[in-house]
Amino acid sequence: MNLNLKVWRQQGGQSKGKFEEYSLENVSEEASFLEMLDALNEQLISKKEDPVAFDHDCREGICGMCSMTINGEPHGPEKATTTCQLHMRHFKDGETITIEPWRARAFPVLKDLVTDRSAFDSVMQAGGFITARTGSAVDANEIPIPKGVLDEAMDAAACIGCGACVAACPNASAMLFTGAKVSHLNSLPQGQAEKERRSILMVEAMDSAGFGGCTNVGACESVCPKTISLDVIAKLNRDYHVSSIKKIMRF
């Protein structure tokens, strides 16, 4: 298949970016989207032109690095799919594909399609510790956990921190990401020691990083490659308000 590509090119955060158009021929329908970009970069390098910078690592839908917006959709048109798992058979021969980075103040562009998502790290670092001992492996049945609680915790833990939720939100909110991390840690016995501080500090870190507020649009849930539910936002709001009230009552 032959494709027309409109790719966002930007040398750095302080420089002005623009879309550049490229033509790519004989792309296999079985190629992944990142393999298609690899082919584009080989073509550019052969012409002694600057290749397109984009993030990638595992290429197995696990690491969350392959962050880019494809035809206006974070990670592209397929639901519950990361960019690296998106295949070219979902596009048409002769189609024009527009590729750009995440658009959020908290995710500044480093180069081309690469954004700085270290703001997520600051939110995670505010989460405190868990009471799990190190050393030898822990007996799986040492702390019995109800099946329903375990399922909720594991569903939240599926978040890979890719940032698609932020890119899709009209407010560039990170509530789905923060909600997933807080819900995961707060649901389990190992997370109870820091539950109250975690709920407050992670929200404060999220706000300080420059993310917007949540207005329950739901775009975050629709583009999440791991189908994280909006329920985690409700749980975050609950834990945050309960922890805030307890903090006020102590003083």
Provide mean pLDDT across the span 37-50: 98
Provide mean pLDDT across the span 24-50: 98
Gyration radius (Cα) of the chain, Å: 20
Residue 99 pLDDT more than 80? yes
What percentage of the chain exceeds 90 in pLDDT? 90
CB 169 within 8 A of CB 217: yes
Predicted local distance difference test score (pLDDT) of residue 176: 98
Instruction: Give pLDDT tens digits for 69-84.
Output: 999 999 999 999 999 9
Predicted local distance difference test score (pLDDT) of residue 123: 97
Q: Could you tell me the domains of the chain?
A: 3-111 (3.10.20.30), 118-250 (1.10.1060.10)
Strand 96-100 vs strand 3-9: parallel, antiparallel, or unpaired? parallel
Instruction: Give pLDDT tens digits for 188-230.
Output: 999 999 999 999 999 999 999 999 999 999 999 999 999 999 9
d(CA 17, CA 111): 9
Instruction: Give pLDDT tens digits for 108-118.
Output: 999 999 999 99
**Given the structure tokens 């790519």, which residue do they identify?**
24
Q: Looking only at Cα atoms, what is the longest distance across the chain?
A: 68
Mean pLDDT of the chain: 95
CB 54 within 8 A of CB 114: yes
d(CA 234, CA 232): 5
Which whole-number Å values give the CA distances from 76 to 37, 130, 177, in the listed order? 14, 36, 19
Strand 18-24 vs strand 114-115: parallel, antiparallel, or unpaired? unpaired
Locate all alpha helices (DSSP H) within the chain, ordered by sequence: 33-46, 118-125, 147-157, 164-168, 175-187, 195-208, 219-223, 231-250
d(CA 164, CA 86): 14
101 pLDDT tier (thresholds 50, 70, 90)? very high
Residue 140 pLDDT more than 70? no
